[in-house]
Amino acid sequence: MSKKFFSKGEVMSVTTVLPGIYSMWLRTDGALSSAPGQFFNFYPNDSAHLLPRPISICEIDRRKRALRFVFRVKGEGTIALSQMKSGDTVDMMGPLGNGFPLNIPERNAILIGGGIGVPPMLELAREFPGRSKVVLGFTDEPFLVEDFSDTDSDVYIATESGNQGTRGNVVGAIMENNLGADVIYACGPKAMLSAVKMLARVRKIRCFVSLEEHMACGIGACLGCVVGTKDVDPHFNVKKKRICVDGPVFDASEVDLR
């Protein structure tokens, strides 16, 4: 398990990806112990907002000790992050959670990202030890697609509006392009993950999903982010697990996505 620690991240840049979606590069020693699929908690400088904002890692540059985060503005905390300038510092803790498993025998993968679940798939595409096909789903306007061009992956797009790629969802893009694999990794809205889990079950493909959920502490103390599970958790004797510490990545067969 990666070491968790508090630190101050130094802002290197903040840029607009699309209206309401921002990309931030931070310099932090946390980059050295980070892995694809993990996240960091960001603590607002304003004492009136006590709860941290969890944001998944998009890219890791260990040589520069830098991390990239791509996030959607949802409230005052993320507004404050989007307005930061080069040289500013932000309190953060991480890396948190369990990322995507890379030490598995399967080496032919489909990586699926939906909406703001697209950014975590970028570093996974770079670090996956085999050949991957990337399927990205959007409501209308795609983003970060060009960033996957140096990952040696074939990229497929699905948009609900039909603006680009397959009209519809990521499962439709997989079917339309006749994509096969030995393992699936996915991050995005629960409805998308549920459909991906069903596809994997029908095709008898191993599947890992990264769950999105509102979090309070991010370290497993508050039990505010839980998901129903197939088996009883030994810590609490209930069929639930904490997304922040037991996940956010789970074997899809172990969690209830209804």
Q: What is the pLDDT of residues 140-156, one digit of tens each?
A: 999 999 999 989 899 99
In this structure, what are the phi and psi dihedrals at residue 51, rounded to the nearest 5 degrees? -80, 140
Across 153-182, average pLDDT = 96
Tell me which of 3.40.640.10, 3.40.50.80, 1.25.40.10, 3.40.50.20 is the CATH number of domain 108-212+248-254.
3.40.50.80
CA distance 101 to 120: 13
Mean pLDDT of the region 127-137? 94
Say how far apart CA 249 and CA 177 lie, in whole Å.
26
Higher local confidence (pLDDT), 1 or 47: 47
Element of type H or E holding 26 = strand 21-27
Write down the pLDDT at residue 99.
96
Instruction: Tell me what percent of the residues of the chain surpass a pLDDT of 90.
Output: 74
Q: Name 117's Cβ contacts closer than 8 Å, sequence gap at least 6.
A: 186, 187, 188, 189, 192, 210, 212
Q: What is the pLDDT of residue 240?
A: 85
Rounded to 5°, the CA angle 2-127-67 comes to 60
Domain 5-96 has CATH 3.40.50.2300: no
Domain parsing of the chain, residue ranges: 5-96, 108-212+248-254
Give the lowest-confidence range in 51-60, 220-229, 246-255: 220-229
- Is it the case that residue 137 has pLDDT exceeding 90? yes
The predicted pLDDT at position 131 comes to 85
Q: How far apart are CA 188 and CA 130, in angstroms?
A: 22
Q: What is the chain's mean pLDDT, rounded?
A: 91
Taking the C-alpha atoms of residue 129 and residue 71, their distance in angstroms, rounded to an integer, is 26
* SS3 annotation, 167-198: ECCHHHHHHHCCCCCCEEEEECCHHHHHHHHH
| pLDDT the model gives residue 224 | 73
The pLDDT of residue 45 is 76
Per-residue model confidence (pLDDT) at position 167? 97
* pLDDT (0 to 100) of residue 49: 61
